[in-house]
Amino acid sequence: MLLRNRLSVAGLCLLAATAVASGPAVAQHALEQPALTGFTAKSGIARAPEQEAVVFEHAGLEFRIDPAQRRMDGDAALTFRALKPLSRLVVDLDRNYAVAAVEVDGQALPASAWSNPEGRMTVTLPRPLAAGARTTLRIRYGGHPHVASRAPWDGGFVWSQAPTGEPWVASAIEGEGCDLLWPCIDHPQGEPLLVDEAITVPAPLVAAGNGIALGMDEHDGWRTWRWRAKSPDTYAIAINVGPYELLSADYESRYGNTIPLRFWYLKGNQAKARALFAQFPKMLEFFEATIGPYPFGDEKMGVVETPYLGMEHQTVNAYGNDYKLTEYGYDWLLQHEFAHEWFGNQVTNADWDHMWLHEGFGSYMQPLYLQWLRGDREYDAWLLFQRKFLMNRVPIVSGHSMVEDAVYNDKTGPGNDIYYKGSLLLHTLRNLIGDKAFFAATRELVYGTTDPRPGNFTPRYATTRDFIDAVNKATGRDYGWFFDVYVYSAALPELVASRDATGLSLQWKAPGGKAFPMPLQVRVDGRDIEVPMADGRGHVDLPPHALYTVDPHSRVLRAMPHIDDYQVDVAARLKAAAEAAQQADPRHEERDHGARP
Ligand SMILES: [Zn+2]
């Protein structure tokens, strides 16, 4: 997902000289709709024992989308294989849907056999399931899906209209989870191994789906679009309906396979869409050369134009950045969401507590791409942009299970630090251990092997510990101290530098007095000197009146008092401006502003 650019982020987002409004987002405030239960509003609550006791082998999902009524009817056939004997099945589903029928292996169940008081639906099986046996649970349901108040951050359905007048409908449900759309296991580890989608929409609308296209039938003024996807992220299963036109091409991969490129853009946007589509091969080339094979090359690289900013929907990424051009000469939003095909969809966090593995890597991919595409100036500029937003109030990994919202909300978790602090610590790690070890460890995290080739890997789950182990394996050393400070501590390490009789005395002060043997460079009169800092201390001899710069290549993420002061100043100015606006017009509403990361 995209950084939540809200004024609450210490008011910092507005400061960006490059701040832009958050795309063609559709305001859907003041909606009257039934409240979500706690179960449904949150994603990543601990799974029920019955959910942990199954392999989710297949989900057959039929969605009928009626934009005129703002209604969705669903028919879900879920096949599970039991790992233990089971007498009940449990799935998560928004209780605001009316359930029309529940069947197990073709047998209709009486209403007494199931209940869904809180959005966690329990179904008593007609007969117990033995370990190793399979069963298919079918649920027919329907109603008005939860409408997003501020997609993609406060998610749900977005019922919009294309500029040409047709319905334009999309879902974005990362924060609340898959249970807003279909009966699922709303936990990062709830991915079905295979999903078949049949999305029925009024003709002549197009429904772009996950995975490969299996065809379309038209009947009685409706069209049913069929799709099949392997191991999609639970929140990646998405509805995208509109008057789309399609751009298609093939990409010849360095790994020998051919990857279909597909872009569904709104009718009328062809010229801009063609220019964006021309960026697809460059991005693929970068990611395949730098990280490894595109994980879904036997399906497609897919992008669809959405009425909200963006979301990493597997093989059908949501794009709503309005084709904005920047001085960097690439579309950061497309590139960020595409990065999630590796960091999020191929490797998925085992628990939301490790979401920095998606967003930190996902955010580091923009400067890294720019370093290749443009050069060091753009790389450094993007990192400096990220640096000024760090909060450092809460560690980016807590060490215990978290729900999505608790991680993204900076009142209860690290919030935006999972993006930019994650990115900047990866920049520091790369400088510390070198490109060879850094990219080997990254490949190990993403694919579970340092030699990924199409066909020798499948989507996997991982934790921060897995990445630390990969770093240690790639380097042959223990870098636990690095992660103890940057990932498991809130405050950044501080460098204390003071002049003494012979030169410059340096000392690291890490939070909690933790060991921090981070080497440094010091530039003295134009010459870069390496300072090992093995025990957290170092010294550089300085001639009288010498000019020096600590860390002249900005390699090490550390506390910067001038940035702290800047953040305080910006927050004060924003607060004063908001108060002045409020006085001038009491109806003035605090606006959300998006900033380019
Ligand atoms: Zn993201």
pLDDT tens-digit readout, 447-457 = 999 999 999 99
Tens digits of per-residue pLDDT, 401-449?
999 999 999 999 999 999 999 999 999 999 999 999 999 999 999 999 9
Output the CA 492–ligand 1 centroid distance in Å.
Answer: 23
pLDDT at residue 388 greater than cutoff 70: yes
Binned at pLDDT 50, 70 and 90, residue 333 comes out as very high
Q: How far apart are CA 55 and CA 51, in angstroms?
A: 8
Binned at pLDDT 50, 70 and 90, residue 14 comes out as very low
pTM value is 0.94
pLDDT (0 to 100) of residue 271:
98
- Nearest alpha-carbon partner for 446 in 315, 358, 316, 337: 358
Identity at 318, one-letter amino acid code: A
Tens digits of per-residue pLDDT, 31-77?
689 999 999 999 999 999 999 999 999 999 999 999 999 999 999 99
Output the CA 356–ligand 1 centroid distance in Å.
Answer: 9
pLDDT (0 to 100) of residue 254:
98
Q: Is the distance from CB of 362 to CB of 339 less than 8 angstroms?
A: yes
- Nearest alpha-carbon partner for 353 in 466, 471, 486, 464: 464
Q: Is the distance from CB of 217 to CB of 223 less than 8 angstroms?
A: yes
Binned at pLDDT 50, 70 and 90, residue 27 comes out as very low
β-partners of residue 157 are 147, 171
Mean pLDDT of the chain: 93
pLDDT (0 to 100) of residue 586:
74
Task: Pick left, alpha or beta for residue 465 (phi over 0 → left; psi -120 to 50 → alpha; otherwise beta).
Answer: alpha
pLDDT at residue 593 greater than cutoff 60: no
As residues whose CB is below 5 A from the ion ligand 1, the structure lists 1, 359, 362
Q: Of residues 586 and 86, which shows the higher confidence score?
A: 86
Output the CA 426–ligand 1 centroid distance in Å.
Answer: 16
pLDDT at residue 23 greater than cutoff 50: no
Q: Which of 8-12, 101-105, 214-218, 531-535 has the lowest average pLDDT? A: 8-12
Output the CA 405–ligand 1 centroid distance in Å.
Answer: 14
β-partners of residue 350 are none
Output the CA 363–ligand 1 centroid distance in Å.
Answer: 7
Tens digits of per-residue pLDDT, 247-301?
999 999 999 999 999 999 999 999 999 999 999 999 999 999 999 999 999 999 9
Instruction: Tell me the average pLDDT across 240-245.
Output: 98
Tell me the three state secondary structure of residue 191.
coil
Binned at pLDDT 50, 70 and 90, residue 5 comes out as low
Backbone angles phi, psi at 196, to 5 degrees: -110, 130
